[in-house]
């Protein structure tokens, strides 16, 4: 790279870092840093349930090499979250960091089923997260909303029950989404619960086309009637789908760093982003699970810079 190219690259990185940002694809459970995990585990008397007992050992465990390694540590983290204060502290810690990085709007996804199936009250989960967002809005100037995700591998019946439990708190929740294991759980299975959620006034989004095929994106659009696709990187395998997404301006909340680390596609990260941009698709770059993948918002400047330069 020449001196001029280096200057251009540096200027672009600095520009991206200085801009106000919106985070549209962020799993709050995926922001649990090792130090906070240990702190909450100690507070709840759960330190012995972890496979590590200090922050340094936890940080080493975060250096997983595959999806299963990620899931193992991710669910250990979920298990220490027991009370409303835990969810408040978790969300507050993320929002404080996000505000420093220039995030002014955050759409926070949460997985209540990961907690209610352990006996944690739904009310504790949603109120803890919502209370932290309200506090951050007042003190940090960062605003946002909550997206309640259904865990697709628990099935459609469980999603219906989760929606039942959420309805008394729907004033705190803007949208519903669909996440967790994609293979073997096509969006069409959740058509009924999405129709019901829409009737209740929720906005609709869904993870699709991450590890699953382009057909899952089609199903999310046609069967679930979502207004955006979370991930969606594999739309590049279907030319007709690319045209449809471009014509309808359905956005993709792309998570390049987590996708690359979990090896959900072949090829280089910068090449995939360049393809999406060349197709004139509406995309945003997002953190996903930044505590585990290292992809907080300012880190996103690097793949963006590589795609343009």
Q: What does 216-261 look like in DSSP terms, one character per residue?
A: HHHHHHHTS--SEEEE-GGGGG-HHHHHHHHHHT--EEE-HHHHHH
Which residues are 108's β-sheet partners? 26, 146
Burial class (CB in 10 A: 0-12, 13-18, 19+), 243: exposed
- The span from the CA of 58 to the CA of 250, in Å, is 39
Neighbours of 2 (CB within 10 A): 7
* Catalytic site residue from 23, 182, 210, 297: 210
Catalytic residue check, 210 = yes
Residue 281 Rama label (left phi>0; alpha psi -120 to 50; beta): beta
- The span from the CA of 287 to the CA of 27, in Å, is 8
Catalytic residues: 210
């Amino acid at each position: 790279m020449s001196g001029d190219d280096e200057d251009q690259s540096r200027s672009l990185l600095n520009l991206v870092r200085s801009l106000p940002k919106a985070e549209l694809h962020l799993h709050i459970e995926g922001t649990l840093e090792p130090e906070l995990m240990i702190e909450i585990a100690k507070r709840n008397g759960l330190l012995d349930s972890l496979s590590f007992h200090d922050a340094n050992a936890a940080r080493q465990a975060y250096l997983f090499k595959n999806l299963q390694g990620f899931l193992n540590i991710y669910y250990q983290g979920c298990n220490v979250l027991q009370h409303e204060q835990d969810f408040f502290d978790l969300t507050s810690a993320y929002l404080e960091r996000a505000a420093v990085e220039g995030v002014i709007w955050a759409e926070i996804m949460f997985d209540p089923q990961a907690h209610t199936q352990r006996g944690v009250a739904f009310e504790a989960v949603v109120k803890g997260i919502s209370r932290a967002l309200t506090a951050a809005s007042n003190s940090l100037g960062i605003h946002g909303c909550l997206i309640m995700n259904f865990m697709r591998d628990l099935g459609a019946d469980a999603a219906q029950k989760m929606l039942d439990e959420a309805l008394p708190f729907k004033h705190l929740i803007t949208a519903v989404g669909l996440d967790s294991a994609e293979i073997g759980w096509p969006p069409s299975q959740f058509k009924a619960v999405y129709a019901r959620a829409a009737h209740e006034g929720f906005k609709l989004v869904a993870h699709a086309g991450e590890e699953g095929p382009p057909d899952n994106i089609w199903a999310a659009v046609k069967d679930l009637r979502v207004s955006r696709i979370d991930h969606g990187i594999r739309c590049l395998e279907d030319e007709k789908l690319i045209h449809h997404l471009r014509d309808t301006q359905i956005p993709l909340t792309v998570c390049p760093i987590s996708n690359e680390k979990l090896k959900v596609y072949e090829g280089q990260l910068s090449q995939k982003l360049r393809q999406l941009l060349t197709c004139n698709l509406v995309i945003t770059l997002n953190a996903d699970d930044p505590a585990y993948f290292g992809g907080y918002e300012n880190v996103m400047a690097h793949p963006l810079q590589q795609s343009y330069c």
